[in-house]
Structures are given as structure tokens and as C-alpha cells.
């Protein structure tokens, strides 16, 4: 299935190019605040996709139209092995439909729930894949701002895909909107200061910790206590013989309060822990 143009001209013609009649709708594979996601097949080509159907009345209720427009523009412009593709979109009187790449593997957060924590090989492979994807985004002046297990999918080969761009922004200027998910917020966001690309580097440190220990590093039952721990960078490594010194070193160099001092994405890929453990193919299907 060829992806229709997402240029301005292409967007104006979306409704003429596609409709729900062009797809065989299969099983429900996801549901969210604004709609549902179905497995679908494009009738003419037989191409398998994920069809995200968003209800306009929900967008009206939460005043989300501009937010969704920005998400579509950003994700539709991206093409990277570790970013879920947005092939096309169209709408009718009541719905907006996104034609998305189908990631046939598991949702990463469910895999983490089942395994409790990841091996260093699996964790490092996911972190390397995420780092490469974020390097691509940052080159395009896109800050993701909400990297977390719930927003990551796996394809049939076990390769990671960033799947949600709801809080992403395309800008070279510093931003001021506090957004994202509490456990993954960088200190500058918690303190309501201006932020830039370095918030994504911080989140890589949080995820690396969570992949290895099973919980985010600053998680507390009380939101205020979580915020206080983030602002203090109250980082504690539980005693365990299974986590290497190199892994702790990488985490410590990412979870740094001064955003300018966080390890760069290039330095993450050159870090000894990544070089030693990460599978260059990005595939995790055969890992334990």
C-alpha cells in the first residue's frame, strides 16, 4: 500500500483518497481516550495495517483538535525503523482515521510486566534502538517528551517502535509546557523551567533503570514525593548481583539535573555497556 502524500496538497485530498470502505476491519487491538484501534487489511493491496479510529465528539469534548493535527503532522513526516509509520489519514462526518504500521509483536509494557525486569542484553538493545530513533527525531527538531513503556511497541522480530507522538513538538526553541508522565519527567519540567531535547535523554535514563529493576527510579505512592525525588535526583540502586557497574554508570550519566551535562545520544551508543550487550540488529525475539 503506497503512503499518500502528507504535504498540504495531500492532506487536502485525504478524504477523496481513502475511506473506511477501502479496508476490511478485523479484531480490536487497542482502545484509548479518543477511540479504538483495529487490525485491518487494505482491500486492493492486501496490506495489513493498524487502523486508529478517533471520534470527533471526543476531540470536541477535550478540545484536542489542534493537538491531534500536530501529532499527525509530526508522525506522518517520520520514517525510521524504530518509529511506527503513519501511512495516511482520512475523515468522515464523525470520525478521523489514522492508517498506521501494524506492529505484530507485543506491547513493551506488558512484556515488562510479565518478565518483571529485562536482562542486560534485552535492556541495552531496547535503549540502543530508542537512542537511534531519538537521534533521528532530534535531527528533525522533534522532541518526543513522553517516552515510556506504554508508548513502545514491538514488531514481529522483537524490534522496538515508538508508537505515540501525542506530546511531541517540532521546535528548535526551548519549550515551557509541562507534559508527559510523572515518573518520567525531567527535573526542569517538574520545576516548570524551559526545556529542550535533553528531556528525552533523561527519560532514557529512567527507562534504562526501569528495564533493569522493574520500577522507575523515583516512583513513590505520593506524587509530591515523586517530584521531590526527581528534583533532588534521589537515585538509589538496590543491591543486586545481576546489574553491572557499566549499566549503573550509564544511568548515572543520564539522570543528571543539569540538562547540559547529560550524556549525549552519540555517547550513549558509544558507552561500554551498550557496546558490550546490545544486539546490533535490534531484534530481541531470541533473548531471555
Could you list the active site residues?
Answer: 146
Strand partners, 30: 37
Report in angstroms the alpha-carbon separations of 215 from 24, 116, 203, 208, 218: 40, 9, 13, 10, 9
Q: What angle do CA 277, 281, 284 make, to 5 degrees?
A: 70
103: helix, coil or strand? coil
Range 79-82 contact pairs with CB under 8 angstroms and sequence separation of 24 or more: 80/132, 80/133, 80/136, 80/137, 81/159, 81/282, 82/129, 82/130, 82/132, 82/133, 82/136, 82/159, 82/160, 82/161, 82/162, 82/282
Which residue in 227, 223, 167, 161 sits closest to 192, CA to CA?
227
Residue 107 is classified by DSSP as B
Instruction: Name the region of 209 (left: φ>0; alpha: ψ -120 to 50; beta: rest).
Output: alpha
Q: What is the CA radius of gyration of the chain?
A: 19
Cell triple for residue 253?
Answer: 550519566
Report the relative pairing of strands 152-154 and 48-55 from DSSP bridges.
Answer: unpaired
Amino acid at each position: 500500500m503506497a503512503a499518500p502524500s502528507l504535504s498540504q496538497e495531500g492532506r487536502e485530498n485525504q478524504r477523496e483518497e481513502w475511506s473506511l470502505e477501502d479496508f476490511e476491519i478485523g479484531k480490536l487491538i487497542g482502545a484509548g481516550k479518543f477511540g479504538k484501534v483495529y487490525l485491518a487489511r487494505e482491500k486492493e493491496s492486501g496490506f495489513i495495517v493498524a487502523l486508529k479510529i478517533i471520534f470527533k465528539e471526543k476531540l470536541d469534548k477535550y478540545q484536542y483538535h489542534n493537538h491531534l493535527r500536530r501529532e499527525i503532522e509530526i508522525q506522518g513526516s517520520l520514517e525510521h525503523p524504530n518509529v511506527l509509520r503513519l501511512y495516511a489519514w482520512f475523515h468522515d462526518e464523525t470520525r478521523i482515521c489514522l492508517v498506521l504500521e501494524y506492529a505484530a509483536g507485543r506491547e513493551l509494557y506488558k512484556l515488562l510486566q510479565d518478565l518483571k525486569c529485562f536482562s542486560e542484553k534485552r535492556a541495552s538493545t531496547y535503549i540502543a534502538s530508542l537512542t537511534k530513533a531519538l537521534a533521528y527525531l532530534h535531527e528533525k527538531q522533534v522532541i518526543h517528551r513522553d517516552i515510556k513503556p506504554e508508548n513502545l511497541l514491538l514488531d514481529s522480530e522483537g524490534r522496538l517502535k515508538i508508537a505515540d507522538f501525542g506530546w511531541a513538538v517540532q521546535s528548535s526553541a526551548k519549550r515551557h509546557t509541562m507534559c508527559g508522565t510523572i515518573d518520567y519527567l525531567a527535573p526542569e519540567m517538574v520545576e516548570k523551567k524551559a526545556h529542550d531535547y535533553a528531556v528525552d535523554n533523561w527519560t532514557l535514563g529512567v527507562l534504562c533503570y526501569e528495564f533493569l529493576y522493574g520500577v522507575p527510579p523515583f516512583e513513590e505512592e505520593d506524587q509530591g514525593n515523586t517530584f521531590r525525588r526527581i528534583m533532588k535526583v534521589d537515585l538509589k540502586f538496590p543491591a543486586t548481583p545481576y546489574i553491572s557497574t557499566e549499566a549503573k554508570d550509564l544511568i548515572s550519566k543520564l539522570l543528571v539535573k543539569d540538562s547540559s551535562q547529560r550524556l549525549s545520544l552519540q555517547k550513549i551508543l558509544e558507552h561500554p555497556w551498550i557496546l558490550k550487550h546490545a544486539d546490533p540488529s535490534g531484534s530481541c525475539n531470541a533473548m531471555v
